[in-house]
């Protein structure tokens, strides 16, 4: 029986085309109204010169940062998304699985002022990957994570565990995707175990929404 992590990766391979259309067509309301701007502002607030976008997808954030004069490099585990990012003008985009990043078998550069993961940490064991990213930061660097808000995503079941995204309401043919839900304390503990300290926390919210649209964490290497 395939593991949830394997099924998660396979769903991205299947959904890549539909994802590109959804992102570039602006059909995901929460992104259009709140979360895209939230991650851009969080990055700009650190005034980085070099940024690594972990799980960059089709490259929208790479383009947004490049437009603001920031040297942005991307990495993603899906070849279709990487090619789309490159074709749209993002030259520095690497194809690598998270396992390859943990084992450092792919050179994606180092000494980044900031590494961001925008809705890109969906598997269970993220601590080795966070530790690997810690090693790629320049002195004074930071990690910025935006993810599903656990209180909202929990839907009354507030505990760590695998959930399923069915993409209901999305146009196109989508394959359901498993993703690992973690509580706020679980996020903070994972950062701590990867030798980060929490430096900031935001809950981006639209004025007309009943709850936060995401959770945004800013972490800095300890010591």
> For the whole model, what pTM was predicted?
0.96
Burial class (CB in 10 A: 0-12, 13-18, 19+), 157: exposed
Q: What gap in Å lies between CA 213 and CA 33, rounded to an integer?
A: 9
Provide the residue-wise pLDDT of the chain in tens; the chain has 223 residues. Answer: 789 999 999 999 999 999 999 999 999 988 999 999 999 999 999 999 999 999 999 999 999 999 999 999 999 999 999 999 999 987 799 999 999 999 999 999 999 999 999 999 999 999 999 999 999 999 999 999 999 999 999 999 999 999 999 998 888 889 999 999 999 999 999 999 999 999 999 999 988 888 899 999 999 999 7
Q: What gap in Å lies between CA 173 and CA 209, rounded to an integer?
A: 28
pLDDT at residue number 169: 84
pLDDT at residue number 120: 97
CATH superfamily of 4-221: Vaccinia Virus protein VP39 (3.40.50.150)
Tokens of 182: 């973690």
pLDDT at residue number 36: 96
pLDDT at residue number 66: 96
pLDDT at residue number 207: 80
Dihedral sign computed on CA atoms, order 55, 58, 60, 63: positive
* Residues sharing a CB contact under 8 Å with residue 223, sequence separation 6 or more, in sequence order: 195
Residue extents of the structural domains in the chain: 4-221
């Amino acid at each position: 029986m395939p593991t949830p992590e394997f099924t998660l990766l396979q769903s991205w391979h299947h959904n890549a085309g539909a994802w590109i259309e959804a992102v570039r067509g602006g059909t995901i309301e929460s992104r259009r109204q709140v979360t895209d701007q939230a991650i851009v502002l969080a990055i700009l607030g650190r005034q980085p010169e070099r940024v690594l976008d972990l799980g960059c997808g089709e490259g929208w954030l790479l383009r947004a940062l490049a437009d603001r004069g920031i040297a942005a490099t991307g990495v993603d585990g899906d070849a279709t998304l990487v090619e789309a990012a490159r074709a749209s003008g993002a030259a520095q985009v690497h194809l690598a699985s998270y396992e390859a990043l943990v084992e450092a078998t792919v050179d994606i550069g180092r000494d980044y002022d900031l590494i961001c993961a925008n809705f890109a940490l969906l598997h269970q064991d993220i601590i080795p990957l966070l530790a690997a990213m810690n090693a790629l930061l320049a002195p004074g660097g930071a990690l910025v994570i935006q993810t599903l808000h656990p209180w909202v995503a929990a839907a009354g079941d507030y505990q760590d565990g695998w959930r399923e995204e069915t993409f209901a309401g999305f146009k196109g043919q989508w394959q359901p995707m498993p993703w690992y839900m973690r509580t706020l304390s679980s996020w903070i503990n994972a950062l701590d175990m990867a030798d980060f300290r929490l430096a900031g926390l935001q809950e981006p919210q639209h004025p007309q929404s009943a709850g936060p649209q995401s959770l945004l964490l800013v972490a800095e290497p300890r010591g």
